[in-house]
Amino acid sequence: MSEWLIYRGTGEPDPERIRELPPPPPWRNFEGGPAVAAAPPIDAASKRRLGERAVPLPTEDEEALQLINAALYLRRPLLVTGEPGSGKSTLAHAVAHELGLGRVLQWPIVSRTELKDGLYAYDAIGRLQDAQLSRNSGASGGPTGRSGGGSGGGPEDDIGRYIRLGPLGTALLPGELPRVLLIDELDKSDLDLPNDLLNALEEGEFGLPELERIADRPGQEEVAVLDDDGRRVPVRGGRVRCRAFPFVVMTSNGERDFPAPLLRRCIHLHLAPPRDERLAAMVQAHFGAGTDEQHLDLINLFTQGARAGELRPTDQLLNAIFLTQYAAREAGVSREDVADLLMRPLDHRQR
């Protein structure tokens, strides 16, 4: 295996490898700081996707490894395309698991998603309600100990309580190590979002107008806000500036084309559906060692249909294996019949 590879696709944790990543090229060097705390460990979302262990990439898939590492070295987003169930989203979790980069920040995209949804949210209504409660409490001689009200000293004075960074905003916080950000199903967005992403991903920073307006006030130069992990993190001067550019995985099912400026700034990886060794490893990751041999009949049934050009995501195979373990106990129930029901191709038209 090439020594220059940081991510090696083995499925085994090797957190020291990321510290061997060389400095970025000058045009992708970011100087945000000082660094915030390290990311929390991977959570249940990663464990659900990876199973008992991450599925290694096939040894012959050298091109995929090189493109993933190119994104790490060049500090560029990785645009991953492929059929449903080919492992596009799981790739982000596998990289975080192997390189010890902690919890994956997930930003699922829908048709109504806007850039600000990924950057941050400001709860102006909640702050207004807290101010009203403080005034009412003060007027009645409540805990504030004031008569006549006013907002001084109330929780609403801490504006950071009402600002929460989104997945993209959290990924751009200054850190010693890159965060892993999954922007899932970008092709479901409206026409503007891919272009809107360009500036944040190119510059590695963004401003929060609510904080920029007060940054010159005494005591407001640094404000602690909530991040996507639920922790309070400092924002200085009303701007979030990254230090280690995040490892960004943007997935697409190929339902639309993206603008050329976005494509020019991304590393493009097309993932083929898992087959043979990779499919067997996936079954073992979720059901235990040796289970690929136990369910070889279902694996063969799945791959035969897929090789015939039928659209079959791997979720169908995993569902079939799980269910047939129970259904096959019943008299007169055939594993193949149950599997056929669950593994109908997605492009099959009901008549």
Residue 346: the pLDDT is 73
Residue 39: the pLDDT is 95
Q: Which residue has the tokens 């590393």?
A: 267
Residue length, the chain?
351
Digit-coded pLDDT (tens) for 100-130: 999 999 999 999 999 999 999 999 999 999 9
The answer to whether residue 145 scores a pLDDT higher than 80 is: no
Over residues 269-274, mean pLDDT: 87
Digit-coded pLDDT (tens) for 146-159: 333 344 567 778 99
CB 92, CB 263: distance < 8 Å: no
Average pLDDT, the chain: 87
Residue 102: the pLDDT is 96
Residue 330: the pLDDT is 64
Report CA dihedral (240, 243, 109, 253) to the nearest 10 degrees. 160
Residue 345: the pLDDT is 77
Higher-confidence position of 41 and 273: 41
CB 189, CB 263: distance < 8 Å: no
The answer to whether residue 261 scores a pLDDT higher than 50 is: yes
The answer to whether residue 93 scores a pLDDT higher than 90 is: yes
Find residue 79's DSSP bridge partners. 250, 268
Q: pTM, whole model, 2 decimals?
A: 0.88
The answer to whether residue 331 scores a pLDDT higher than 70 is: no
Lowest mean pLDDT among 60-64, 250-254, 295-299: 60-64
Lowest mean pLDDT among 57-61, 159-163, 333-337: 57-61
Q: Which residue has the tokens 């993209």?
A: 168
